[in-house]
Amino acid sequence: MIRGNKILIADDEPDILEIISFNLQANGYEVSTAKNGDEAFEKAKKILPDLVILDIMMPGKNGIEVCNLLRMIPAFKETLIVFLTALSDETTEIKGLETGADDYLTKPISPKVLISKINALFRRLNKDETGIIQIGDLQINREKYSVKFKEEDIILARKEFELLSLLASKPGKVFLRNEILNQIWGTEVIVGDRTIDVHIRKIRQKLGIDCITTVKGVGYKFEM
Amino acid sequence: MIRGNKILIADDEPDILEIISFNLQANGYEVSTAKNGDEAFEKAKKILPDLVILDIMMPGKNGIEVCNLLRMIPAFKETLIVFLTALSDETTEIKGLETGADDYLTKPISPKVLISKINALFRRLNKDETGIIQIGDLQINREKYSVKFKEEDIILARKEFELLSLLASKPGKVFLRNEILNQIWGTEVIVGDRTIDVHIRKIRQKLGIDCITTVKGVGYKFEM
DNA sequence: GCTTTCACTTAACAATTTGATAATATTATA
DNA sequence: TATAATATTATCAAATTGTTAAGTGAAAGC
């Protein structure tokens, strides 16, 4: 868990608090609890959690009020907020979601499912899936379709980029010629064996460094 | 059509497809449908939706398989995927969420609640909805539909504006021609490939600076 | 009502790049 | 060394994009 592992739970039933706390902690989250809406709001402002789990019916402020108040504070614009309540009526659920909550879960819920849902929310929050391959001084950015070597931009044509991208996706692994053909040309198109060689050559030429190794009779592999 | 609002629904029950389609469309989403897993996978690759709603039990590939396949494709790393199924057993739900889905909803679900859930997901996705994009000396104001370069107003026609706006929304990212067509023209309208080029040309001409790069065989990207 | 203007699209062609192959040279290895 | 596999080079066809001009329809202006 790189970022975002502080969770605040607000519920007026001590049993619920304990069960959920236990399960979240067992999954590596740092948990704080609150017994009512007012306490939840105060604690939230103090500890700045990454996720707030709110019961709706609580003494003091109810969950929806807390959610509203939090969303008004800039620091909580991005904070995950989830309702966890026994209230399963449609109107409340819609109201809850429209308040700016990220999910609305109804009790009873199994701890495992709860954890899965929470993991799913965090997964999207930590969207560091940039599609960048970095090996030594070589950087391949799939999204930008760009290759850099020591801050130097290297322009590759499409097939060249795809080929390098494929080989570099698993450094050290030998890709069979067949495998390469299937991955890059697909099963429909049929091209000669020499075609691969030529593209490999162009990549080697453009990169200027020797990072693609020929494994004679088998295929090619990427190595720095 | 600037906002990400394309949804693909896959379900083998025509009634469900129709009801959900209707409701989503009524809420401003652009909807495509698929009757089974295979069709869902193919259509997804073609139209590049922002959200995919998957039934689990379907002829051909089941929903979980489709989700798995999609998540393997770089272009679908960020796509919202939600299961909507009658299967309410815990194991399946956990498996679904661990496959990389963003939510797991069980039928029956009221259209209103479904819409709320979907809105909540999109709300988090479009996080930087400030309406103003500032890159170097270039300022794009989505609300005013205006573009400024070094305090100088630049008048762009609608399509030109939308195109620039799209490219500039993720500087560096290469937008596939497909992606551009889908985002700006939608899946209904079909225009020739040259149309994009011509708009690109006009933007380049009007801006006077070289900030749109052609990636041959792939698409275009914005770079200052 | 008519004309003008403008945004958008397309056709047609030019310019460019890419990718595949043939032909030949070179290398690795049994 | 003989042989199969790969490297290299040059070449050409195909794919892709750039550019210009022209057509279309809708909105604006007279």
- Asked if strand C contacts B110 at the CB level, meaning under 7 A, the answer is no
Tokens of A152: 């130097």
Distances (CA, A) of B195 to B37, B44, B68: 33, 23, 35
Going B223 to B199 to B174 to B27, the CA torsion angle's sign is positive
Question: Residue A53's beta-bridge partner residues?
Answer: A9, A82
The count of other CB atoms within 10 Å of the CB of residue B4 is 19
d(CA B199, CA A128): 32
d(CA B70, CA A51): 28
Residue to mutate among B48, B174, B223, with most A CBs inside 10 A, is: B174
d(CA A199, CA B133): 39
Under an 8 A CB cutoff, do B94 and A102 touch? Answer: no
Q: Does B128 touch chain A (CB under 8 A)?
A: no
Q: Does B179 touch chain A (CB under 8 A)?
A: no
Q: What is the pLDDT of residue A4?
A: 65
Q: Is residue B63 packed enough to be buried (19+ CB in 10 Å), middle (13-18) or exposed (0-12)?
A: buried
d(CA B14, CA B60): 16
Cα distance from N-terminal residue to C-terminal residue, chain B: 24
Q: Is residue A114 packed enough to be buried (19+ CB in 10 Å), middle (13-18) or exposed (0-12)?
A: buried
- Asked if strand D contacts B124 at the CB level, meaning under 7 A, the answer is no
- For strand C, which nucleotides have at least one atom less than 7 Å from a protein CB? 6-12, 17-23, 28-29
Mean pLDDT of chain B: 90
Under an 8 A CB cutoff, do B116 and A93 touch? Answer: yes
Question: Residue B221's beta-bridge partner residues?
Answer: B174, B213
| Model pLDDT for residues B33-65, shown as the tens digit of each residue | 999 999 999 999 888 899 999 999 999 899 999
Under an 8 A CB cutoff, do A129 and B97 touch? Answer: no
User: What proportion of chain A, given as a percentage, has pLDDT over 70?
Assistant: 96
- pLDDT of residue B122 exceeding 60, the answer is yes
pLDDT confidence bin for B186, thresholds 50/70/90:
confident
Mean pLDDT of B143-163: 89
Are the C-beta atoms of residues B165 and B140 closer than 8 Å to each other? yes
Under an 8 A CB cutoff, do A116 and B103 touch? Answer: no
Eight-class DSSP state of B211? -
d(CA A11, CA A34): 7
- pLDDT of residue A84 exceeding 60, the answer is yes
Tokens of B177: 């021609």
pLDDT confidence bin for A127, thresholds 50/70/90:
low
Mean pLDDT of chain A: 92
Q: What is the pLDDT of residue B130?
A: 63
Q: What is the pLDDT of residue A2?
A: 47
- pLDDT of residue A62 exceeding 90, the answer is yes
- pLDDT of residue B216 exceeding 50, the answer is yes
Taking the CA atoms of chain B, what radius of gyration do you get in angstroms? 19
- pLDDT of residue B5 exceeding 80, the answer is no
Angle at CA of residue A18, ends A12 and A19, nearest 5°: 110
How many Å from the CA of B137 to C1' of D5? 55
**Total residues belonging to chain B:** 224
Cis preceding-peptide flag for A49 (omega within 30 of 0): no
The count of other CB atoms within 10 Å of the CB of residue B177 is 14
